[in-house]
Amino acid sequence: MKVLFATAEVTPFSKIGGLADVAGALPKALEHHGVDIRVITPGYKSIAFKDYSLKDVATFSVPVGARTYEANILSTRLPESENVEVFFVRNEEFFDREGIYVDENTGEGYSDEAERFIFFMRAIIQWLQGDSWKPDLLHCNDHHTALLPAYIKEMADEFPVLRGMKSVYTIHNMGYQGTHDKQVLQKTGFPKSVYTDNETFEDNGDVNFMKVALKYADKINTVSPTYAREIMSSEEFGFGLQGVVKERADDVSGILNGVDYSEWSPEHDDLIPYNYSAKVISGKAKNRDELLRKNRMMAEKTTPIIGMVSRLVDQKGFDLIDEALDEILALELQLIILGTGEKKYHYLFAEAIEDYPEKVAVNFAYNNPMAHLIEAGSDLFLMPSKYEPCGLNQMYSLRYGTIPIVHATGGLADTIDDFNSETKVGNGFSFSEYTSEALVETIKRALRTYKNKALWKFLRDNAMRCDFSWDVSAGKYVELYQSVIE
Ligand code: ADP
Ligand code: GLC
């Protein structure tokens, strides 16, 4: 089975969020299941190309509207895979920029986002047309690659390689749909007859790339079973596309993301100063000291540290934290945050640092070593997301013995069982009602449990034993691919 995995981010080359983690790990697991899998992604300027041995694969020109742009395809092996090739589509004008999605000068998304990804998708198709390797299936992810299922069905006369090719579309987040002025359709290369008076290409006067994929893809999936149900249930989760997903209900499934334990395990994580395991846990306390030192906080042995690694956006529950911050910081805890995002949350935390310097530290940065140190050095991990398609950090936290506190939604509901101190069953703390009262109550409950050393050990052992490796989920992807190819 030959599959091409198309994605806007892939670890370790480029990363904004969990999509990169999935794109860097799932292909390795699929390779173990015998899939002939290749990955294709934009060749952003920020990628450390000099660290990899690169093959020059092809150069050709790609039309986007009235202009043509040169596409240069390079490839390298995905690190730690046997033989998964990652192909980079390079173009100076579209991808040689400081940011991946956001213009660092303005803090806004690039205004030519549609053109950048139309270029990327058209380059993929032209490259396939010219290459001898022909995938049976294109696995598309998020709105950046969402027109590909339509290209397959509508452009096979021009690009015969597309004949009979199948597609799977994975939704990583309904909150980002790729909605653009309809004018951009003229730059897609689709014949006018394809999109004129076609409600698939119409979304309140605009074009919505995700909607196009939801209509054209052979199968649709998302990254947890609960989120698969939620996105059909209401506007709140579906962001306007709930009806479109529901129409395809028979083709929609939820497959939980996995964890790449070669990157996220305290036993052999080389980004943390002290390795440890459930059996030999002593290193965790040393990482804790290091975390406090790096964040210039006093070491209070009995005060629990709550860590957060997150995009600072509404999705991640920061509106609840905003409402309850004074109440939270009045509790016996220290809060260490890593993240960047919306300005209002940068202001909120800048103020909190001034008011409570001994209780809260915030790293307004993207910093992978610090993300690992927070996982290793914290006692609890806070992730009160309003909605969460899957979420990876709560699963990483489990392995590091850092107990998650979550809002029970999407993938958080599928991975975190509320700890019952009577039966000693459960791996974290969760609350169902999305209110600041419920959040504060749950934090208080976690802090009470933390004080009981014996109980805490039970909980930590439960957490560290959880296994969310990719193998099982990759098997489900193979079944999904088979269901369309056959
Ligand atoms: P999402 O993709 O919605 O942001 P996930 O939980 O799926 O959420 O994945 C987030 C990923 O990005 C995790 O690997 C997390 O460690 C990483 N991450 C998020 N913010 C930062 C940051 N500021 N610095 C380093 N890593 C980060
Ligand atoms: C998105 C979601 C996150 C998920 C990730 C990878 O960014 O917000 O929940 O884990 O994609 O699928």
Whole-number CA gyration radius for the chain: 23
The total of structural domains in the chain comes to: 2
Residue 309 domain-assigned (yes or no)? yes
Residues 226 and 358 both lie in one domain: no
Mean pLDDT of 313-326: 97
Instruction: Determine the Cα–Cα distance for residues 3 and 335; give it in Å rounded to an integer.
Output: 43
The three-class DSSP label of residue 402 is coil
Tokens of 87: 């192909």
* Type of residue found at 472: V
Contact status, residue 249 vs residue 240, Cβ threshold 8 Å: no
Residues 232 and 308 both lie in one domain: no
Q: What are the C-alpha distances in Å from 71 to residues 6, 58, 87, 147, 284? A: 16, 8, 12, 18, 47
Q: Which of 395, 409, 383, 402 is nearest to 459 (CA)?
A: 402
Which residue reads 């698939």 in tokens? Answer: 200
Residue 272 domain-assigned (yes or no)? no
Residue 222 domain-assigned (yes or no)? yes
Residue 266 domain-assigned (yes or no)? no
Q: Which atom of ligand 1 is found nearest the CA of 21?
A: 14
With bands split at pLDDT 50, 70 and 90, how would you rate the model's confidence at 486?
confident
Q: Which atom of ligand 2 is found nearest the CA of 227?
A: 9
Residues 305 and 233 both lie in one domain: no
Q: Which atom of ligand 2 is found nearest the CA of 19?
A: 6
Find the 222 Cα to ligand 2 centroid distance in Å.
Answer: 9
Closest-CA residue, ligand 2 atom 10, reads: 391
Residues 231 and 363 both lie in one domain: no
Q: Which atom of ligand 1 is found nearest the CA of 311?
A: 20
Burial class (CB in 10 A: 0-12, 13-18, 19+), 384: buried
Residue 21 domain-assigned (yes or no)? yes
Mean pLDDT of 320-345: 97
Find the 390 Cα to ligand 2 centroid distance in Å.
Answer: 5
Residues 240 and 291 both lie in one domain: no
Mean pLDDT of 150-168: 98
The three-class DSSP label of residue 271 is coil
pLDDT at 140 over 90: yes
Find the 214 Cα to ligand 1 centroid distance in Å.
Answer: 26
Mutate to test the pocket of ligand 1, among 9, 342, 392, 399 (most ligand atoms within 8 A of CB): 392
Contact status, residue 408 vs residue 416, Cβ threshold 8 Å: yes
Residues 42 and 161 both lie in one domain: yes
Mean pLDDT of 431-438: 98
Reported as half-sphere exposure (CB side, CA atoms, 13 A), residue 372 has a value of 17
Closest-CA residue, ligand 2 atom 7, reads: 18
* Domain of residue 431, residue span: 282-467
Residues 213 and 337 both lie in one domain: no
The pLDDT of residue 220 is 98
Instruction: Determine the Cα–Cα distance for residues 385 and 107; give it in Å rounded to an integer.
Output: 23
Residues 120 and 244 both lie in one domain: yes
Residues 459 and 479 both lie in one domain: no
Percentage of the chain with pLDDT > 70? 100
Which residue reads 């290091």 in tokens? Answer: 290
The pLDDT of residue 107 is 82
The pLDDT of residue 234 is 96
Instruction: Determine the Cα–Cα distance for residues 30 and 273; give it in Å rounded to an integer.
Output: 32
Q: Which of 439, 437, 381, 378 is nearest to 408 (CA)?
A: 439
Residues contacting residue 378 through CB under 8 Å, at least 6 positions apart: 288, 291, 305, 306, 307, 336, 397, 402
With bands split at pLDDT 50, 70 and 90, how would you rate the model's confidence at 370?
very high
Residues 107 and 41 both lie in one domain: yes
Find the 401 Cα to ligand 2 centroid distance in Å.
Answer: 22
The long-range contacts involving 323-330, CB below 8 angstroms and separated by at least 24 positions, are 323/436, 324/436, 324/437, 324/439, 324/440, 325/352, 327/436, 327/440, 328/439, 328/440, 328/443, 329/355, 329/356, 329/359, 329/360
pLDDT at 300 over 80: no
**What digits encode the pLDDT tens for the residues 19-63?**
999 999 999 999 999 999 999 999 999 999 999 999 999 999 999
Q: Which atom of ligand 1 is found nearest the CA of 316?
A: 3
Contact status, residue 23 vs residue 77, Cβ threshold 8 Å: no
The three-class DSSP label of residue 167 is strand
With bands split at pLDDT 50, 70 and 90, how would you rate the model's confidence at 15?
very high
Reported as half-sphere exposure (CB side, CA atoms, 13 A), residue 284 has a value of 23
Q: What is the dihedral of CA 21, 388, 472, 370, to 10 degrees?
A: 40
Q: Which of 379, 404, 409, 378 is nearest to 393 (CA)?
A: 404
Find the 392 Cα to ligand 1 centroid distance in Å.
Answer: 8
Mean pLDDT of 372-385: 98
* CATH code for the domain of 102: 3.40.50.2000
Neighbours of 366 (CB within 10 A): 13
Q: Which of 327, 332, 8 is nearest to 148 (CA)?
A: 8
Q: Which of 31, 26, 30, 32 is nearest to 11 (CA)?
A: 26
The pLDDT of residue 386 is 98
Find the 79 Cα to ligand 1 centroid distance in Å.
Answer: 20
pLDDT at 317 over 90: yes
Residues 355 and 477 both lie in one domain: no
343-355 and 318-329 are packed helices; what angle lies between their axes, rounded to 10 degrees?
A: 0
Find the 261 Cα to ligand 1 centroid distance in Å.
Answer: 16
Mean pLDDT of 332-353: 96
Find the 254 Cα to ligand 1 centroid distance in Å.
Answer: 21
Give one word for 391, left, alpha or beta, with left for phi > 0 and alpha for psi -120 to 50: left
Residue 191 domain-assigned (yes or no)? yes
Residues 83 and 59 both lie in one domain: yes
Mean of the per-residue pLDDT values of the chain = 97
Q: Which atom of ligand 2 is found nearest the CA of 175?
A: 8
- Ligand 2 site, CB within 6 A: 17-19, 22, 172-173, 223, 257, 388-392, 411
Mean pLDDT of 261-272: 97
**What digits encode the pLDDT tens for the residues 223-249?**
999 999 999 999 999 999 999 999 999
The pLDDT of residue 257 is 98
Closest-CA residue, ligand 2 atom 12, reads: 172
Find the 310 Cα to ligand 1 centroid distance in Å.
Answer: 5
The pLDDT of residue 18 is 97
Residue 446 domain-assigned (yes or no)? yes
Instruction: Determine the Cα–Cα distance for residues 480 and 253; give it in Å rounded to an integer.
Output: 9
Mean pLDDT of 263-270: 97
Which residue reads 């509320």 in tokens? Answer: 418
Residue 456 domain-assigned (yes or no)? yes
Q: Which atom of ligand 2 is found nearest the CA of 385?
A: 9
The pLDDT of residue 278 is 96
**What digits encode the pLDDT tens for the residues 75-117?**
999 999 999 999 999 999 999 999 999 988 888 899 999 999 9
Contact status, residue 97 vs residue 164, Cβ threshold 8 Å: no
